[in-house]
Each structure stands twice: as C-alpha cells, then as structure tokens.
C-alpha cells in the first residue's frame, strides 16, 4: 500500500502543484490512515471498505482530534480513494457515499480599525528594527497577505510605481494586490534604512523582510513581532498574523467593497471562502443594532 501512497503524493506535487504545506498535511494524514489499515490486517487497497474509513474516523474522534482536523483528514482520504479508483487500483471508491463530518461554522477573530491603529501606533520607532516591523504589519493589513506570502515576498514583486505588489499564494498562484499610501511609505522607509544593513549580513535572494541576522523571516518570527506590539498596545484578544488578513477582508466589506474584488485580493480560489466575511459583516451590523437602536 505504501507504493500507491507514494505515487499519489508524487501526483499531488507534480501534476496538481499544491503548496508544500498542503502536501505535507495530505502525506501525514494518509500515512496514519495506511498504518491503521495495516493494523486491521489489510495488505491491499482492494480490501478497503466503508467500515474501515468509518473506523479510522472514529479513532480520530476518540483521541479528541478537533472537528476541523477530522474534516481535513476525511478530505485527504476521499481524494486518495478517487485517485486509486481512477488509476484502476480499486474497483470502486468506498469513500464516495460517505458524508463528510459536519463542521460548526466558526467566525474568525477580527480587530477593529481602532485596534489595528493602536498596534501600529504602539511600535516604538526608536527601537531596533522598528521600520521593518512597521512595514511588515502595514503590508499584512494593507494587502491581506497570508503570513507565508509576507515571508516570501520578493523585491521583484514590489511594483511601487503602480502601488501594487505581486504575491505568490497557495500552489504558487500569482496575484496582484494594491497597497495603501501608509504601507507604501513605511515600506519605502524600511527599504532605504533598515534593509540594506540587514542584507549585508548574507545572501538574501531578494527577500524583502529579513531577520536581524539577514535571514528571511519565519512564520513564528512574524507571530512574535505581532504579539510584541499587540501587548504593547494593550490588545488582549488572541490574535495571529492571520487576524490581520481577516481584518483586512472584513473592513473592506464593511466599507462597501465588492465581494469578488475581495476574493481576488485574498487569492481565494472559491468565493465561498470569502463569503464567511459577509456573514461576519452581518454579525457586526447586528451588534451595532443591538448597541444603539432605542427599541432593542
């Protein structure tokens, strides 16, 4: 069974061009699944039945894996079985008639416009790497980038004359995103003053945001930068760099932006991923109504 799994992972990498993190997640989930099947005495994929898939999902629930993680694992299994069936290694697809686990609709945490301003204002401009931190957080909020997109942003992607940046998102899909004047100014300051000193320490391959030793920033470093300045601003919400992305989308829609334009800027392949922010906007409107309407 390991041979089929290896072929499937290779297909994901070569033909579907999925992001590395997505491929790693598929591989991890399916290795656990194959291990479970082997413990049940299966030696060939031809012997897999619906009961085996249900049993594996039950085991994940028994160890209290989160609903979202179980849903992701089920999606991995269903996709794997579709591949096995298409390659004629199985006569049928035992996952086809199984329903995906129901997920509770969870709205993302967002910041208010004032909270974003407070975090940016809290950055002490006399501190080390303050210009980098300001530019980084301004870009995260102004362009709604994923943290990986910010970490991989390259100098060749800065189209500053057009007030745009070129971003490579999931699956290396390219998109152009506008950035605001404030972000432009902070980025210009960083590029002229902080970055040249950092770039002298090692080969940077054109990466925009660098650490103190000249390396590209990691996700954890970006998280720590945001956490540092959020605490300085007195923000007690549990936030991450992705919170800035959620806030970017929510604030645009609250301001009347078109849903498809926001979808394009976020780099969502499916508009249903963007529609959660319209629901979030409705929740915000209801909260305003509850707070200020005299007959509530």
CA 169 remoteness from chain centre: 9
Catalytic residue flag (residue 35): no
| pLDDT tens, position by position, 215-272 | 999 999 999 999 999 999 999 888 999 999 999 988 888 888 888 888 888 888 776 7
Catalytic residue selected from 4, 132, 245, 251: 245
pLDDT at res. 99: 83
pLDDT at res. 286: 63
Q: What is the CATH number of domain 2-86?
A: 1.10.150.130
Catalytic residue flag (residue 242): yes
Catalytic residue selected from 132, 146, 246, 251: 146
The answer to whether the Cα torsion of 107, 277, 118, 132 is positive or negative is positive
- Does residue 288 surpass a pLDDT of 60? no
- The class of domain 113-292 in CATH terms is mainly alpha
Please report the DSSP string for 157-187 in residue order: GEEGGGTEEEEE-GGG-EEEEE--HHHHHHH
Structure-token pair, residue 42: 């299966």
Q: What is the gyration radius of the CA atoms in the chain, in angstroms?
A: 23
Tell me how far apart the alpha carbons of residues 274 and 263 are, in angstroms, rounded to a whole number. Answer: 6
Catalytic residue flag (residue 293): no
pLDDT at res. 49: 92
Average pLDDT value over all residues in the chain: 88
- Does residue 103 surpass a pLDDT of 80? no
Catalytic residue selected from 52, 78, 166, 170: 170
Catalytic residue flag (residue 268): yes
Q: What is the pTM of this model?
A: 0.63
| pLDDT tens, position by position, 170-187 | 777 889 999 999 999 999
Catalytic residue flag (residue 146): yes
CA 183 remoteness from chain centre: 21
Domain ranges, ordered by start, for the chain? 2-86, 113-292
Catalytic residue selected from 78, 228, 242, 284: 242
Please report the DSSP string for 197-214 in residue order: HHHTTS--TTBSSB-TTS
């Amino acid at each position: 069974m390991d041979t089929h799994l290896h072929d499937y992972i290779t297909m994901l990498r070569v033909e579907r061009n999925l992001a590395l993190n997505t491929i790693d997640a598929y591989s991890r989930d399916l290795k656990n699944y194959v291990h479970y099947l082997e413990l049940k005495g299966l030696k060939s994929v031809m012997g897999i039945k619906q009961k085996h898939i249900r049993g594996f999902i039950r085991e994940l629930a028994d160890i209290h894996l989160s609903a979202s993680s179980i849903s992701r694992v089920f999606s991995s299994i269903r996709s794997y079985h579709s591949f096995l069936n298409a390659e004629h290694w199985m006569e049928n697809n035992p996952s086809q008639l199984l329903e995906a686990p129901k997920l509770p609709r969870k709205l993302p945490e967002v910041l208010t416009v004032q909270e974003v301003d407070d975090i940016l204002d809290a950055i002490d401009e006399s501190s080390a790497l303050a210009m980098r931190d300001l530019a980084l957080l301004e870009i995260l909020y102004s362009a709604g980038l994923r943290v990986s997109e910010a970490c991989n942003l390259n100098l060749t992607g800065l189209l500053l004359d057009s007030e745009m940046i070129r971003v490579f998102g999931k699956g290396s899909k390219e998109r152009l995103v506008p950035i605001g004047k404030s972000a432009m100014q902070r980025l210009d300051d960083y590029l002229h003053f902080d970055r040249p000193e950092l770039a002298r320490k090692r080969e940077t391959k054109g990466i925009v945001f660098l650490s103190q030793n000249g390396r590209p920033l990691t996700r954890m470093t970006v998280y720590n930068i945001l956490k540092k300045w959020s605490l300085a601003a007195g923000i007690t919400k549990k936030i991450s760099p992705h919170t800035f992305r959620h806030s970017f989308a929510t604030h645009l829609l609250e301001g009347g932006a078109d849903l498809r334009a926001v979808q394009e800027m976020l780099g969502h392949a499916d508009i249903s991923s963007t529609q959660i922010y319209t629901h979030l906007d409705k929740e915000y409107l209801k909260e305003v109504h509850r707070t200020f309407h005299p007959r509530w």
